[in-house]
Amino acid sequence: MCVPACHEQIVRSLSRRSFLKSASMVTAAGALAGCTGVNVTESPVSKTINYNRIVDLTHTLREDFPTYFGPSQLKIESLYSAAESGFNLNQWTINEHTGTHMDAPFHFDGSQTADTIPVSKLVGALAVIDIRARATENADAQVTPDDIKAWESVYGPLPAGAIVAMNSGWDAYVMDGTRFRNADDAGVMHFPGFHLEAIDYMMEEKDVVGIMSDTLSLDFGPSPDFAAHFQWLPSNRWGIESVANLSELPVSGATVMVGVPKIAGASGGPSRVLAFAL
């Protein structure tokens, strides 16, 4: 069990050694006296979430939910039914990257698997970057540094530990035939994503713990090289793909909580993502 102040001890310890953003964080955590895991995180000052609305950023996941690779990635099998056994129970066979799901750093070989991301990084202030108008004109639209700077010019600098979401309006197409994948005759998909320069801006100049897209990828559809993935995830920051309902939220002021399953060694997982807002 981890003592309440343990995570902050770890952060301070690592900070002193300039390891704050390094992949050795989890290992260092285990080495600290009294800690066998990072189950509790404590802030030096208290935080407040004011809300009167809870918005579900999660799509309902079905066997025919569209996938990046194309074929179904979920099979639901009934093991018991109330009619026969008195209770209902299913088994899922599921690819970790299906539906509204997390890309843990380990997906692109960061050291943190879904179960070892510090819980303090699963909760954060949300900045919604609205590129719906551009995405309507161009399915290959990307979030750029200028988009983020435009947000900051109105709402101030991205808050510490922020979560940045791209709202391209693509969630509306999720069960609309083939439109969510939007593949052309050559099989190349066309949907919005984060430009590598925006990734660099958030990594080099900001304190952003996670990003979210409302499409099938963090990268835009025609990306030949997963550039955004390869830059972002190995730094032990996370992503969420295929979020829903961002248009229900204010673009500033909401708080997000990411409920990713805590399965050992996971590269991600179908997650429940809720936002608290006024």
Kind of pairing, strands 162-167 and 208-213?
parallel
Residue placing its CB nearer to its own copies in the complex, 213 or 271? 271
Q: CB of residue 221 vs its own copies: minimum separation in angstroms?
A: 17
**CA 34 distance to own-chain centroid:** 30
Question: Please, how many CA atoms are within 13 Å of residue 111, restricted to the half-sphere of its CB?
Answer: 9
Q: CB of residue 206 vs its own copies: minimum separation in angstroms?
A: 22
> What is the number of residues in the chain?
278
Residue placing its CB nearer to its own copies in the complex, 133 or 278? 278
Task: Enter the tokens of residue 206.
Answer: 């900001």
Residue placing its CB nearer to its own copies in the complex, 56 or 152? 56
Residue placing its CB nearer to its own copies in the complex, 24 or 91? 91
In which element (H, E) is residue 274 found?
strand 272-277
Q: CB of residue 256 vs its own copies: minimum separation in angstroms?
A: 11
Contact 131, 143 (CB under 8 A): yes
Q: CB atoms < 10 A from the CB of 16, how many?
A: 9
Q: CB of residue 252 vs its own copies: minimum separation in angstroms?
A: 17
Q: Which residues contact 103 (CB under 8 A, 6 or more apart)?
A: 97, 218, 229, 233, 238, 239, 240, 241, 267, 268
Q: CB of residue 10 vs its own copies: minimum separation in angstroms?
A: 14
Residue placing its CB nearer to its own copies in the complex, 112 or 144? 112
Distances in Å between the Cα of 176 and the Cα atoms of 66, 71, 171 are 10, 16, 10
Residue placing its CB nearer to its own copies in the complex, 115 or 197? 115
Return phi, psi of residue 127, to 5°.
Answer: -115, 120
Q: CB of residue 151 vs its own copies: minimum separation in angstroms?
A: 22
